[in-house]
Homo-oligomer: A and B are copies of this chain.
Amino acid sequence: MLTYSFTDMGSDSMYEYLYKCIKRDILEGKLHPDEKLPSKRTFARNLGISVITVENAYGQLMAEGYIYSLPKRGFYVSKVREIRLLNTNPAKVDRKPAILIPSGKEYLADFSSNQTDSQAFPFTIWAKAMREVMSENQEQLMTNAPSAGIPELRQSIADHLRAFRGMEVSPEQIVVGAGTEYLYSLLIQLLGANITYGLENPGYHKIAHIFERTKVPFCYVDMDKEGVSIQDLEERQVDVLHISPSHHFPTGIVTPIRRRYELLRWASEKKDRIIIEDDYDSELRLSGKPIPTLQSIDVSDQVIYMNTFTKTLCSTVRISYMVLPGVLASRFHETLGFYSCTVSNFEQYTLAKFIANGSFEKHLNRLRIFYQNKRDRILETFRQEPLRDRIIITEKDAGVHFLMKMKSPCGEEEIVESALEHGIKLVPISRYYIGKENRFENTFVMNYSSVKLDRIEEIASHLYEALI
């Protein structure tokens, strides 16, 4: 019987420690592929810990693909591919450590993924734009792009922002980069690494990971019903605040205009305060009269606007951009202009053409309808018997996700695990809260962009199974 001592767990939580022990044994081959793990209850009893702790550890291992589960049978060790390095020098082979990478898990439905539905990408039109670029622009394609991106793309983006968002920005303010994460690494270099960044709580975790990895000080600022709490903001020593006022992830809060002015007032109190406005899904979401961006009502040049094509085009074309205030744009060109632009010319010119010839606007119109139909179809299926009585759906106007409250006698983590056993990956909204009480109990963030419609009945029935 598998057993671990909890005496060396250091600062880890019980569940983290258990997760690490099992993972290590899998990686080191002490636990073999397809070996059955103890049942949660037996394991908990034997280790003298709670069932929830074992559940959490198993959940984490399953989410990372180290173990898998079979309905009504239990948990098993995944086949992790063991790659021992071949080498002409046999003496060397044994000295190279094996690299072990868990094999990926296929889900029936992954509601945590932002992956684009392949039906949503305009392959034909994109391929045509790329062909034209490759036959017409060969000299330009080979000419090194300015650090901030080719002028044509920046102009196209400025035109798009004017038409779509009513924003008046100059192409010289725009910096294009290979994804929002990369732009963050530039912003940290531009704004400084020894100031404090403030993040929304709850919020999008990846930014916190970047700050952690780059050792940049940051803190969490509480949200109330209108967005970031000004009171909490005042109490903390935040220099640069990251927010998504147009559509907060995951709660869906739209910050009203009065709160926007309060945020700008907060920024204006100190010259070096900056608000980073993340407008990540505005194109997919907005209908009717949009609330102006903070960037467009900021007169003191303290707002950086960020947006991305990873949602509107596809998650695997890595193009994002930011709009810097004039002073910061100049500083960018002076101090960071030596960096090569991280997006290839081929894709920059293709995207510039795609926007300039109107394809992007048409694509957005189609995309909104596509996701609307997809969402309607999913919700319609979920609202049929027997699932309908067990769920409440909210925030359904939200880009490519909705919130779903599950009525179940089980707790969140039990639902997550039970769903995983049915091949469905769910993320409770509580995961986005850091050390703060969650006001959405048993509620899940359902990102449906990658979900396959032709399996939606199957998904609904598995979800029901997981809830009972």
Contacts and interface: CB of A to CB of B under 8 A. Distances in A.
A168 B86 contact: yes
Given A97-B326, A347-B347, A142 B168 contact: no
A82 to B, nearest CB: 10
Given A87-B168, A172-B101, A193-B215, A178 B343 contact: yes
A134 to B, nearest CB: 5
B301 A96 contact: yes
Interface in A133-177: 134, 138-139, 141-145, 168-173
A179 interface: yes
A145 B179 CA distance: 13
A197 to B, nearest CB: 16
A271 to B, nearest CB: 13
A146 to B, nearest CB: 8
A189 interface: yes
A170 B214 CA distance: 28
Interface stretch (A222-230, A242-250, A331-339, A436-444): A331-339
**Interface size band for A:** 35 or more
Contacts of A100: 330
B317 A344 contact: yes
A215 B188 CA distance: 11
Interface string A82-116: 01011111011001111111000000000001111
Contacts of A179: 340, 342
> In the assembly, how many copies of this chain are there?
2
Interface stretch (A117-125, A254-262, A373-381, A459-467): A117-125
Given A83-B170, A168-B87, A178-B343, A144 B113 contact: yes
A42 interface: no
Contacts of A92: 299
Nearest to A344: B317
A194 to B, nearest CB: 8
A410 interface: no
Given A92-B299, A118-B139, A342-B178, A85 B170 contact: yes
A206 interface: yes
A366 interface: no
A346 interface: yes
Contacts of A98: 326
A213 interface: yes
A330 B23 CA distance: 13
A41 interface: no
Given A118-B142, A142-B116, A142-B121, A342 B318 contact: yes
A173 B101 CA distance: 11
Nearest to A101: B172
A358 B268 CA distance: 59
A105 to B, nearest CB: 13
A131 interface: yes
Contacts of A299: 89, 91-92, 95
Contact of A326 (B86, B96, B145, B340): B96
Given A99-B172, A327-B97, A316 B142 contact: yes
A96 to B, nearest CB: 6
13 contacts: A85-B170, A99-B170, A100-B330, A101-B172, A115-B144, A126-B134, A127-B131, A127-B134, A145-B316, A193-B214, A315-B340, A317-B344, A319-B344
Given A118-B142, A318-B340, 20 more contacts: A83-B170, A85-B168, A91-B299, A96-B301, A96-B325, A96-B326, A97-B301, A97-B326, A98-B326, A116-B142, A117-B142, A123-B138, A142-B316, A144-B316, A178-B178, A189-B213, A193-B215, A206-B338, A316-B344, A319-B344
Interface of A: 83, 85-89, 91-92, 95-101, 113-118, 121, 123, 126-127, 130-131, 134, 138-139, 141-145, 168-173, 178-179, 181-182, 185, 189, 193, 206, 209, 213-215, 299-301, 314-319, 325-327, 329-330, 333, 335-336, 338-347
Question: 6 smallest A-B Cβ distances: which pairs?
Answer: A316-B345, A178-B342, A97-B326, A118-B142, A99-B172, A178-B178
